[in-house]
Structure formats: C-alpha cells, structure tokens
Amino acid sequence: MTLVMGIVNVTPDSFSDGGRYLDAEAAIAQGLSLRAQGADILDVGGESTRPGAERVEPAVEQDRVLPVVRALAAAGSVVSIDTMNAATALAAVEAGARIVNDVSGGMADPGLLAAVAPTGADVILGHWRGPSADMYAKAEYGDVVAEVLGELARRMDAAAAAGIAPSRVILDPGIGFGKRGDQNWAALRGTRRLAGLGPRVLIGTSRKRFLAETLAAQSGGERAEVGEGRLDVGTAVTSVLAAQAGAWGVRVHDVASTVDALRVARAWEGEGRWTSPTRSP
C-alpha cells in the first residue's frame, strides 16, 4: 500500500504554508493532526526549498526542527527530516527521525551520505540540478525521464559508496526541482521506469507550480487564481496515479484528501490489485 507523507514546514517562507507552523507548538500540533488524518510519515523541514529560496544556517534550521522532531517521534510518529545539511540530519536522527529526506540527493552537502550511513536511517535521494536560488538555470533536457533516471542512478551509486545499502534508499524524481511545466508531467510519466531501478519511489506534487499552471490554463485564468482547494484536488489525483504506477509513497500538504482518494481508488480496483513495492517506513 502506498504510504502518505505529511508535510510539516517549520519555516517562515515555504511556498504554500510558510509561517503557519514556525512556532514549535503549532508545528507539533499540525504534525499530530496530519497523523490523525492518516499520514504514515511526517516530514519535518526547517529550510524552504521553494524557487528562489536562500539557504539557512544549520544552527537556525536545527533550532526550528529538533523540538518538533523530538516531540513527534516521542508521540509514536514515524518522522522524516527534510534537510540538505549533514549536521541537521544527524541531530534529527538522534532526536528520533528515521528517514533523512535530502532533496539534493547528497549533492548540497557532500558529507551528508557518509554521515548518515552509520545511523541506519533510510535516505530519500532527490533529483536536483542546483540550489533553489537558481533552480531553473539547468532546466534543459533532451529526454527528461532518461536523464532523471541516469542522474538518480548515480546518486544511488554515491550512497552505496558511502555505505548506504540499496534497501535503505528511496528515490524522488524531484517534481518541480529544476523542471519547468511539461517537464514535470514527463517526469511523472516515468514513475514506473523509476520504480524499475529497484529502490522505493517517493512522489511529491503537492500544490506545486506546474499543477497551478495546468489548472489555470484549463480554466482560462491566471496561476495565482488557483487556490489551495483546487491544488489539493490535483495533488490527490496525481498521488493516485503515482500509486498506480508503483510509488512507495506520496508527499502532501493536505493529507485527508489524498488518503481519501487513495482509499477510493483501492476500492475501485479491489484491495491488492495495485500496491507499491513497500516495506515499513
């Protein structure tokens, strides 16, 4: 069964919910609420990776996320730490995180993979072509799927060289990261091929720009006019399609709508007709 990862942004500037949960107590309450709605994993981040975002000092990042990670883990939640910093990853695992979600795939901090290897934590390797401040500078592809698969395969090799077994690796094609418009749709259509590499696959489309562009174009409006409600519908639909293509997990802001959509899709197909190559988080 495809797992649902709920997003807990402890940031002032994330593209969708920046500032809502900057206070630790608010972030903890949000995480517990997402878990009650059906989230299998809570992904806690203290540094925005939205287009144009500037880097945050690891000390600031840790001040934001560690109390939240510690409290959610103590409450029995499976916690993932969304970070590109080795020091933050290690501190979060020590505080109870069981997964390190690095959108850069270990490229932003070359020491991250080696640092995480001895901890036993699972690692999400994202497809990345550069920092958020200049995210689209290298958004040029001949064959999006082939290039994303090739670059992620190299990140798997780097993880293995650092001592991280393939069984601990989760691959993320980085929807919205260094990809424009239809490039994201092409990458999504490659989900089944990505799953064929062997490791588990995580898909994150939640409220992203390409969904707003698609919905706005179909309704004749502007991207800015597409509200969260419509984006959450688009997220739920793409999450179901990702699950049908073999995704191990989907990463979302609005857990309830995606959990419901997955439940309905399973009922339509019949339980067990399509499940991802999953193991416990």
From CA 178, how far away is CA 206, in angstroms rounded? 16
Q: Please indicate whether residue 251 is annotated as part of the active site.
A: yes
Contact 171, 145 (CB under 8 A): no
Q: Please indicate whether residue 208 is annotated as part of the active site.
A: yes
Mark 9-46 as b/e (b = at least 16 C-beta within 10 Å): bbbeebbebeeebbebeebbebbbebbebebbbbbbbb
Helix axes 181-189, 144-162, angle to 10 degrees: 70
From CA 44, how far away is CA 65, in angstroms rounded? 7
Contact 183, 127 (CB under 8 A): no
Catalytic residue among 208, 230, 266, 273: 208
Helix, strand, coil shares, percent, the chain, to 5: 45, 15, 40
Catalytic residue among 129, 168, 251, 266: 251
Catalytic residues: 208, 251
